[in-house]
Chains A and B, each alone.
Chain A
Amino acid sequence: MAATSKEAMVKGPIINITERAASKIKEFAAQEKVEEYGLRVGVMGGGCSGLLYKLALDKGPRQDDRVVEQHGVKIFIDLKSAIYLTGTTLDYTEGLNGKGFTFQNPNASTTCGCGTSFSA
């Protein structure tokens, strides 16, 4: 796990991550053979509805990142993305419709048909 300063930690979680999602992230990190990492969760412009979710393993937080730690996984969120992600739950699901990470985002007013983008 990457070392993070106490100053970068926030009191309340911007996003929540389920145990299942945390477990899957650790699995990916092990596959990638990375020892020091966190999960970068962000938003980027694009997709049918205007905003896309972005997930990636990152070595450490950048300046002004918000940092959350749950179930042994550190999550880095840039300041602007945090505006659109506050209150979001990140889960990992497997079912008839496929498997992957899902976002329950209370800020999303609409979601596109394929579910990959949202508007807020």
Chain B
Amino acid sequence: MERSPLYEIHKSLGATFSDYNGLELPRVYSSIGDEYRAAKTSAVAMDRCCVGRLQVVGKDALDLLHRLTTNNLNLLKPGEGMSAALTSAKGRIVEHLVVYLGKRTVLLLTSPQNQEKVAKWIDHYTFIEDVKVEDVTDKCGMISLYGPLAPKVASEIAGQDIRQLPLHHYVSLGSDEWDLCFTRAEAIGGDGFHIIANRQSLQELWRTALKVGARPMGEAAFEILRVEYGIPVYGKELSEAVNPLEAHLNDSVSFNKGCYIGQEVIARLNTYKKVQKYLVGLLFLLLEQAPRPGSKLEIDGQEVGFLTSVAQKPGFQVTMALGYIRAKYASPGTGVCAVEDAGKIEGKVVAPPFPIAAEI
């Protein structure tokens, strides 16, 4: 099993580890509930070295990526980034990326362990273009800061005020392009920042993050927050069975950029309102048996969808879940049942992020 460059620090902090897609990552440091609450009220630091990182070089890099992805990458200027999906000709999600434009190269963030698949996909569509993809996942690392105080913590580590940085924009403070970057990330628990840095400086950055007030958070608390904030991940909510509109990735799709792979299908789904199912949040009563990912969803005995992720919200007698449900049942408040071996568990559709005072 692969280990993070921060493994020894995590161990010294008392972390217990679990296998996440072949990577040994901290599951929890002290208490899942405490880590969860810290992310909601202050700031947490998380080892995200597992996120795939690809550096794309060559004069045609941005042009090729623009042709292959759903978003309008031609709008990017150095220092900016945007989310975008790679889709198949059928409009299904091959991967959901964050694309950062540098002065000389492009950096892609992929799902954990998915960087090789993405590199092969790009290579497949590279003909005579001047484009080269390099997997830099092991050369650099990533620390994520989440919570309402994440911008303050990020600013203190960076040594400059970056609290107003727009989503996916970054500041580069290293000697090389991706040597030390601070970028605004999707908000989880209130806000979010990523620090992308060379492998050698990760331990120092981690120690500084903790010194200026961040609490370490493991994968267990992160998974609860991810479900609560409705953040889809590849392998659970995202796959080649799903299109970006079903997964609510509209912010990653440009409807006026022109052709890209899968554009015709996605444009037709959008224009004629033909999206068949939607990703929704669901709340269930907390019973002896919790619903499980993969369980069917029923309304009046009819199968209407399935669950993709399930999490217990600390301190609340409910189970939160994400799942796909037929479009006509996707409105918040719709009553559903999760079908389990022990019986049916009643629940309802909600719109993430889940309300604090959740009630069935």
Q: Which residues of A contact B (CB under 8 A)?
A: 42-52, 54, 62, 78, 80-81, 110, 112-113, 116-117, 119
| A42 adjacent to B125 (CB under 8 Å) | no
* Of B89, B128, B259, the contact of A42 (CB 8 Å cutoff): B128
Q: How many A-B contacts are there with CB distance less than 8 Å?
A: 60
* Of B89, B128, B129, the contact of A50 (CB 8 Å cutoff): B89
| B89 adjacent to A43 (CB under 8 Å) | no
Q: Which residue of B lies closest to A113 (CB)?
A: B264
Q: Contacts A112-B264, A113-B264 given: A45-B127 contact, CB under 8 Å?
A: yes
In the A-B complex, the 7 residue pairs with the smallest Cβ-Cβ separation, listed nearest first, are A45-B125, A46-B67, A48-B264, A50-B89, A50-B261, A119-B89, A48-B263
B253 to chain A, nearest CB (A): 14
Asked if B262 lies at the interface with its beta carbon under 8 angstroms from chain A, I say yes
Chain B residues with CB under 8 A of A62: 128
Q: Contacts A45-B67, A46-B125 given: A116-B89 contact, CB under 8 Å?
A: no
B82 to chain A, nearest CB (A): 18
Cα distance A51–B67 in the bound complex, in angstroms: 10
* Of A42, A45, A80, the contact of B64 (CB 8 Å cutoff): A45
Q: Contacts A44-B67, A117-B259 given: A49-B89 contact, CB under 8 Å?
A: yes
Interface size class, chain B:
10 to 19
| B261 adjacent to A46 (CB under 8 Å) | yes
| A48 adjacent to B124 (CB under 8 Å) | no
Chain A residues with CB under 8 A of B208: none
Can you list 16 A-B pairs, Cβ within 8 angstroms, ordered by A?
A: A42-B128, A44-B129, A45-B68, A45-B125, A46-B259, A47-B67, A50-B261, A62-B128, A78-B127, A78-B128, A80-B127, A80-B128, A112-B259, A116-B259, A117-B259, A119-B89
Q: Which residue of A lies closest to B66 (CB)?
A: A46
| B127 adjacent to A47 (CB under 8 Å) | no
Asked if B239 lies at the interface with its beta carbon under 8 angstroms from chain A, I say no
Asked if B170 lies at the interface with its beta carbon under 8 angstroms from chain A, I say no
Cα distance A75–B335 in the bound complex, in angstroms: 64
Cα distance A99–B286 in the bound complex, in angstroms: 66
Chain B residues with CB under 8 A of A52: 67, 259
| A45 adjacent to B264 (CB under 8 Å) | no
Chain A residues with CB under 8 A of B128: 42, 44, 62, 78, 80-81
Cα distance A43–B126 in the bound complex, in angstroms: 9
Chain A residues with CB under 8 A of B89: 48-50, 110, 119
Q: Which of A47, A52, A78, A80 has the largest count of B CB atoms less than 10 A from its CB? A: A47
Chain B residues with CB under 8 A of A49: 89, 261, 264
Asked if B260 lies at the interface with its beta carbon under 8 angstroms from chain A, I say yes
Contacts A51-B125, A116-B259 known; 7 new A-B pairs at CB < 8 A: A45-B124, A46-B125, A47-B67, A52-B67, A62-B128, A80-B127, A119-B89
A113 to chain B, nearest CB (A): 6
| A50 adjacent to B125 (CB under 8 Å) | yes
Chain A residues with CB under 8 A of B129: 44
Q: Contacts A110-B89, A119-B89 given: A48-B127 contact, CB under 8 Å?
A: no
Cα distance A76–B127 in the bound complex, in angstroms: 14
Chain A residues with CB under 8 A of B124: 45
Chain B residues with CB under 8 A of A81: 127-128
